[in-house]
Amino acid sequence: MTEILRVSKLNKRFGGVTVARDIDFSLERGSMHCLIGPNGAGKSSFFRLLLGEHAPDGGSILFRGEDITNLRSFRRIQRGISVKFQVPGIFKALSVRQNLEVAFQKHLHGHNLTATVRRVLDFTGLLDQAAMPAGNLSHGQQQWLEIGMAVGVEPSLLLLDEPTAGMSPDETRKTGEMLHDLNRRGITILAVEHDMAFVEQIADRVTVLHVGAIYAQGTIGEIVAHPGVQEIYLGTADA
């Protein structure tokens, strides 16, 4: 496997708070990787650094071998990174179809745009809601719509910030199946997630962040069995 993302010595401070401390991280192409950690561990900040919303104080980010550390957010997206935020980042006043059109029309036009919107509506199960204002969808449907917006043009790397937040167990399971399907299509997935059952369902490897630094990395089995991770995040059976 080849590396799609390489983060080296990434640092970021906000005043007296360090949100990223010498982070060295790499992601294999085609993998499904989860970031976990207690609240305030720096998971979302790490995402924002990857997306260019925050400029790092030091370190570098290589995406597909290219240094993107100083690129603006939209240029990173144009290079094949896509994102789904924790709070659904959809356009609530627009219809479901318009949301998808806006998401894809940068890369697709005419027939291809229409066909892709149709495919993604089918894929997300939102075909019957295509003309409905996106703000009228249920929370789970809004999450799926945003996943659809993020994957319609088949990015190389999909960043998901708590993709199942607020979902029912059934919706969570189906979201996991959806992500496996996308991964089989070659999309590398990096997800921040709190739901350990969901992490078990999707992740090849897991990274634990703690106070802005990488605390542990490994397979889900190794992470669950890690005494330190149990102490800081997962809790112990007799706790």
Site string for other proteins, 156-175 (x = CB under 8 A): --------------xx--x-
The alpha-helical segments, DSSP class H, found in 41-162 are 43-51, 73-78, 96-104, 110-124, 139-151
Q: Using the rule CB under 8 A, which residue among 3, 22, 28, 154 binds other proteins? A: 154
Angle between helices 96-104 and 110-124 (to 10 degrees): 130
Q: Using the rule CB under 8 A, which residue among 24, 66, 67, 177 binds other proteins? A: 177
Q: Using the rule CB under 8 A, which residue among 2, 15, 55, 128 binds other proteins? A: 128
Site membership for other proteins, residue 151 (CB under 8 A) = yes
Nearest-angstrom CA–CA distance, 33 and 55: 23
Spell out the residues 6+ positions from residue 110 whose beta carbon is closer than 8 angstroms to its own: none
Unique residue bearing structure tokens 């790499």: 26
Site string for other proteins, 84-113 (x = CB under 8 A): -x---xxxxxxx--x--xxx-xxx-xxx--
- Strand ranges inside the chain, DSSP E: 3-14, 17-28, 32-36, 58-63, 66-67, 81-84, 157-161, 188-192, 205-210, 213-218
Site membership for other proteins, residue 130 (CB under 8 A) = no
Site string for other proteins, 44-83 (x = CB under 8 A): -------x-x------------------xxx--xx----x
Closer residue to other proteins (CB): 103 or 234: 103
User: How close are the terminal C-alpha atoms of the chain, in Å?
Assistant: 40
Residues 38/216, Cβ–Cβ less than 8 Å: no
Residues that bind other proteins (CB under 8 A): 51, 53, 72-74, 77-78, 83, 85, 89-95, 98, 101-103, 105-107, 109-111, 114-116, 118-120, 122-126, 128-129, 140-141, 144, 149, 151-152, 154, 170-171, 174, 177-178, 181, 185
